[in-house]
Structure 1
């Protein structure tokens, strides 16, 4: 898959099969559209093109809203779309100027003159152009003029999977990573660099790797303890992750830590990736480190029990 960081980098195609959207999470609903995009491109001898935006349009249109976080980083989104077989991914900056393009300008300047669109696949509720005034009416009225076809993924097809990026975010923000995985078709992950902490965990027998996630826009799940799988290079390990402010020691900042089972190497400065499999419990304040230690023993038992159950599952 070829990746472009601006529309200006893209060379117009003879037969572009296009879809457009933020595709945050690339969940089952998105995957349905992307798979159809690739099928149509293959069937018509064209090339599949996805036009997406960064930052998220809502972050530009409503810059005061700092609460909107993304399920995927740009790198993660690109990796998923690549695996689905997309030929071209354009990640164009969503700017005020871009948002002010009228629907007709958008169709002519972006879809036709820049991309070379011959087929476009959109969801039934796709909106575009200034103030989201453009829709199916505008696409259809310009189709004959600019010689492109339109395929609509209807409401029933999308609703059959009963999923949206908002639903995924809501599940993650309450810690329900198992439900999020059902929506997404894969396990939510966090990737970051291992940084030095205050090493309290190792004094009670549970050393942790402290993770710094560089992308400030990346959604962090609810505080608590999770069963996770940890990827370092090509090696995978079982572990339990903690997200929270460490109330037992009166912590002031939100930490992301992971206790990796059967592992004792120094990995400061390395990048690791955690896949969130199951929520175990909420974060609570204990009477002291000894009480915390006892709870962590139970958490580890619960995590190992989860992995044992997982290994025995017929799936």
Structure 2
């Protein structure tokens, strides 16, 4: 997959394009991208995604913007996994925000990306003041030589699949529902970096995962699986938060205690998949109290995966009966 910073004055080849934030690349996004691939194959053209950095809501109201589901790097990895040929990452700044709907069509869609077919969500708006919409795109396409197609909302059990719905499920601690909307377990990937090494002093050495986000849509203690380096589907207790027992106003951290493992993981790139929330983050009066809580967390993590494995075997035996 090719990644471009900004929009060229003129592309070297026409494309089949879609536009959006693609935060999380959930089932709704995946349906859109599947349609994009199908349309591009029928026209013999590459697929292209136009996305933004920062996200528009982060630009207009940075203090009120919701936490991202994924970093830009992770989003690009997820788009590549969906078979996208090109991604244009447009800096969303004051100059870009001032583009009128007409200039957006002319400078971005027609001249910049040479769009032949545009696939958008049914609620897509664009241009200064969000004055452009599906109807105006259709009118422009008829004059400027590109087709426009809207994809209906993807629903699951009567619920609209969206980044907001995923985020709400995570904030509520319902990882099973969040993962259902994502189509896969929520995953954070990063390198193990040096931390304060407090965990090892109480018998729980943790892998401190480098985060590329300053905020996340979930916090607390989670049952996770970890892959990377010497680890294959290792189970662990993961903490996401600011470690209130250690101090006040500390930086957001993601730390994983990997059960039944002893070894050096520094500089390894690990994948952490989130399956179940154990509890919220809490402040303890002492490190001994924290140690007792982590002991209990580990027991609950083991029980969760034991129950999940038993349930999986039970379903298999019933289906084979």
Is the structural similarity TM-score above 0.5? yes
> Match of 1:7, SS?
coil
Residues 1:247 and 1:100: Cα distance change in structure 2 (over 3 Å): closer
After TM superposition, give the deviation of residue 129 of structure 1 in Å.
0.7
Indicate conservation of the 8 Å contact 2:10/2:111, yes or no.
Answer: no
Structure 1 match to 2:46: 47
1-structure distance, mates of 2:175, 2:90: 30
Q: Equivalent of 1:242, from 221, 239, 252?
A: 239
Structure 1 match to 2:69: 71
Q: Equivalent of 2:228, from 214, 227, 232?
A: 232
Structure 2 match to 1:62: 61
After TM superposition, give the deviation of residue 251 of structure 1 in Å.
5.4
Indicate conservation of the 8 Å contact 1:12/1:113, yes or no.
Answer: no
1-structure distance, mates of 2:144, 2:107: 11
**CA-to-aligned-CA distance 1:38-97 (integer Å, 9 cap, x gap):** 01111222221111111111222234x254321111111111111111111111111211
Residues 1:9 and 1:49: Cα distance change in structure 2 (over 3 Å): same
> Match of 1:24, SS?
coil
Deviates more, 1:192-201 or 1:109-118: 192-201
Structure 2 match to 1:137: 135
Indicate conservation of the 8 Å contact 1:27/1:163, yes or no.
Answer: yes
Write the mapping of 1:148-227 to structure 2, written as runs, cut at 5 A: 148-155=146-153, 157=154, 162-216=160-214, 218-222=215-219, 224-227=220-223
**CA-to-aligned-CA distance 1:248-288 (integer Å, 9 cap, x gap):** 45555244321012222223344433211110112234454
Unaligned 5+ segments in structure 2 are 317-321
2-structure distance, mates of 1:167, 1:61: 21
Residues 1:283 and 1:60: Cα distance change in structure 2 (over 3 Å): closer
Structure 2 match to 1:7: 7
Q: Equivalent of 1:123, from 98, 121, 136?
A: 121
> Match of 1:131, SS?
helix
After TM superposition, give the deviation of residue 140 of structure 1 in Å.
1.4
Residues 1:67 and 1:127: Cα distance change in structure 2 (over 3 Å): closer
Indicate conservation of the 8 Å contact 2:229/2:265, yes or no.
Answer: no
Indicate conservation of the 8 Å contact 2:229/2:268, yes or no.
Answer: no
Structure 1 match to 2:102: 104
> Match of 1:300, SS?
helix
Indicate conservation of the 8 Å contact 2:240/2:253, yes or no.
Answer: yes
Structure 1 match to 2:28: 29
After TM superposition, give the deviation of residue 194 of structure 1 in Å.
2.9
1-structure distance, mates of 2:281, 2:21: 33
Residues 1:9 and 1:229: Cα distance change in structure 2 (over 3 Å): farther
Structure 1-normalised TM-score? 0.89
Indicate conservation of the 8 Å contact 2:57/2:65, yes or no.
Answer: no
> Match of 1:292, SS?
helix
Residues 1:247 and 1:21: Cα distance change in structure 2 (over 3 Å): closer
Aligned length: 310
**CA-to-aligned-CA distance 1:78-130 (integer Å, 9 cap, x gap):** 11111111111111111211111111111122111111111111111110111
Indicate conservation of the 8 Å contact 2:118/2:147, yes or no.
Answer: yes
**CA-to-aligned-CA distance 1:218-259 (integer Å, 9 cap, x gap):** 52512x211111222373321111123444455552443210
After TM superposition, give the deviation of residue 191 of structure 1 in Å.
3.1
Deviates more, 1:233-242 or 1:246-255: 246-255
> Match of 2:17, SS?
strand
